[in-house]
């Protein structure tokens, strides 16, 4: 046991026990929430390092506190690595997570009341894409577009162009938190160009798949701003990146600090630098491709076993199931049933869901975390089998317990990165 863990065990046994419980959960169950992942041990070590002790308001070379020779070095590394990985001109690595990352962009380029075109939440858009319950949704005029039910969850760009001409947005935003389809960046860019808006993509879910070359990069289609969290498919620490053209750099940087945030979390920025280096290694390209192959296999196996996929299939790492249609239970019941057998998913609204958000019709699944444990297509077929067995008919608690044992035995062959062996 390393010194830090021993200190925790002896100094705070209550927190230590909870940590051990979470470690056991992460090892003995399967994580299928598409936005979650296992980071690398080197990232965990950096997050728990003395960089957490340092205040660093400002940017490298222009800080408000002394003692920055090493924090400047690490922030510069993170910026350079982000620019090289995503082929962009400027990176701000300070956003504390996804919400401030997107807020910083809106506040950099919009005046109150300005219009943004963004995807409706039930069709896959994110809360921070101007949902009415968010502060940004009240401050700016978000006009929501939707996917087309008859088009397997894709967007009708003729309709989007009409909406853009009518609403005159300052930003055309694409990117989703719950769509199994890939974005047509060229088409979004044409819409933005036509109405003189900034083209912005929030690629939080697929940032790692873009970095790993498995999906297209919005910058290759002339996008102005791309945001991504760093802890999803990118497998880094919790944090956010705002990436942009150099002409926009000053406005973005001012908006993040001092506009929105104070001291950046230097331990997270150092850990981000470590993750960005890992994501540039050849092995990460294989990982990104495997995430997508695994999702395709999981989707096919579930469909073959009678599941109803909201878009009929997937192009990325993510699947949305309509549980009411296929299993006669809502998403919350499905989430709880799968929890009972050690498979973690999240309940999910489906497009124009008639049910409320805490009892929606669907669940959302994804393969980034399972793939990080080395699972491949054959494991996806096994997972589809476990899930179908648990969902297709009501089960007695003892039947669920037997399935949970089978899931735990299956998991034993796949060590979880960063989790000490039990």
Catalytic residues: 55, 57, 202, 229, 232, 238
Size of the residue set binding ligand DSN (CB under 6 A): 4
Integer Cα distance of 369 and 37 in angstroms: 4
Tell me the closest approach of the beta carbon of residue 97 to ligand DSN, in angstroms.
Answer: 8
Of 58 and 236, which CB lies nearer to ligand DSN in the complex structure? 236
DSSP H helices in 149-256: 157-167, 185-195, 207-211, 249-254
Integer Cα distance of 301 and 261 in angstroms: 45
What residues numbered 314-343 form the site for ligand DSN, per CB under 6 A?
none
One residue of 26, 27, 35, 290 binding ligand DSN per CB under 6 A: 35
Return the SS3 of 346: strand
**Closest CA relative to residue 58, chosen from 92, 102, 99:** 92
**Are β-strands 318-322 and 58-59 bridged in parallel, bridged antiparallel, or unpaired?**
unpaired
Beta bridge partners of 320: 364
Of 207 and 417, which CB lies nearer to ligand DSN in the complex structure? 207
Phi, psi of 141 (to 5 degrees): -100, 95
Q: Does 218 bind ligand DSN (CB under 6 A)?
A: no
Tell me the closest approach of the beta carbon of residue 291 to ligand DSN, in angstroms.
Answer: 15
Tell me the closest approach of the beta carbon of residue 176 to ligand DSN, in angstroms.
Answer: 9
Nearest residue to ligand DSN, using CB?
35
DSSP H helices in 3-52: 3-11, 13-28, 41-47
Distances in Å between the Cα of 95 and the Cα atoms of 39, 185, 227, 253, 411 are 19, 24, 10, 10, 34
Integer Cα distance of 64 and 75 in angstroms: 15
Of 35 and 217, which CB lies nearer to ligand DSN in the complex structure? 35
Tell me the closest approach of the beta carbon of residue 364 to ligand DSN, in angstroms.
Answer: 8
Integer Cα distance of 338 and 332 in angstroms: 10
Tell me the closest approach of the beta carbon of residue 362 to ligand DSN, in angstroms.
Answer: 14
Of 270 and 345, which CB lies nearer to ligand DSN in the complex structure? 345
Q: Does 98 bind ligand DSN (CB under 6 A)?
A: yes
What residues numbered 177-196 form the site for ligand DSN, per CB under 6 A?
177
Residue span 110-149 as binding mask against ligand DSN, x where in contact by CB under 6 A, dash where not = ----------------x-----------------------
Residue span 149-178 as binding mask against ligand DSN, x where in contact by CB under 6 A, dash where not = ----------------------------x-
- Sheet strands (E) in 168-295: 171-174, 198-202, 225-229, 240-244
Binding-site ranges for ligand DSN (CB under 6 A): 35, 98, 126, 177
């Amino acid at each position: 046991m390393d010194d830090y863990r021993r200190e925790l065990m002896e100094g705070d046994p209550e927190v230590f026990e909870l940590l051990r419980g979470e470690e056991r959960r992460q090892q003995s169950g399967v994580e299928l929430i598409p936005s979650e992942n296992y980071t690398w041990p080197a990232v965990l070590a950096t997050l728990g390092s003395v960089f957490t002790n340092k205040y660093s308001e400002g940017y490298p070379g222009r800080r408000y506190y002394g003692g920055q020779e090493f924090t400047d070095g690490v922030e510069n590394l993170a910026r350079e690595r982000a620019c090289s990985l995503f082929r962009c001109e400027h990176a701000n690595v300070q956003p504390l997570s996804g919400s401030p990352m997107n807020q910083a962009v809106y506040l950099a380029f919009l005046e109150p009341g300005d219009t943004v075109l963004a995807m409706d939440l039930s069709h896959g858009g994110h809360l921070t894409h101007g949902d009415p319950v968010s502060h940004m949704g009240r401050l700016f005029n978000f006009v929501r577009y939707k996917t087309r039910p008859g088009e397997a969850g894709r967007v009708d760009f003729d309709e989007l162009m009409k909406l853009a001409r009518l609403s005159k947005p300052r930003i055309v935003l694409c990117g989703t938190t719950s769509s199994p389809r890939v974005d047509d960046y060229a088409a979004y860019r044409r819409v933005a160009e036509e109405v003189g808006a900034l083209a912005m993509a929030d690629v939080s879910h697929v940032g790692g798949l873009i970095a790993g070359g498995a999906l297209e990069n919005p910058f290759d289609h002339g996008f102005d701003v791309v945001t991504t969290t760093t802890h999803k498919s990118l497998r880094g620490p919790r944090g956010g990146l705002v990436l942009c053209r150099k002409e926009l750099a000053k406005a973005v940087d001012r908006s993040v600090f001092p506009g929105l945030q104070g001291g950046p979390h230097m331990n997270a920025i150092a850990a981000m630098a470590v993750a960005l280096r890992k994501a540039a290694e050849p092995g990460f390209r294989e990982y990104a491709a495997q995430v997508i192959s695994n999702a395709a296999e999981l989707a096919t196996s579930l469909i073959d076993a009678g599941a109803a996929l909201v878009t009929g299939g997937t192009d990325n790492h993510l699947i949305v199931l309509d549980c009411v249609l296929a299993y006669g239970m809502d998403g919350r019941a499905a989430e709880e049933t799968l929890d009972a057998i050690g498979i973690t998913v999240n309940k999910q609204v489906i497009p124009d869901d008639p049910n409320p958000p805490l009892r929606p019709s669907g669940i959302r699944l994804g393969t980034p975390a399972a793939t990080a444990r080395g699972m491949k297509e054959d494991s996806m077929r096994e997972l589809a089998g476990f899930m179908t067995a648990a969902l297709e008919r009501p089960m007695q608690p003892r039947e669920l317990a037997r399935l949970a044992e089978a899931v735990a035995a299956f998991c034993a062959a796949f060590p979880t990165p960063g989790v000490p062996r039990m």
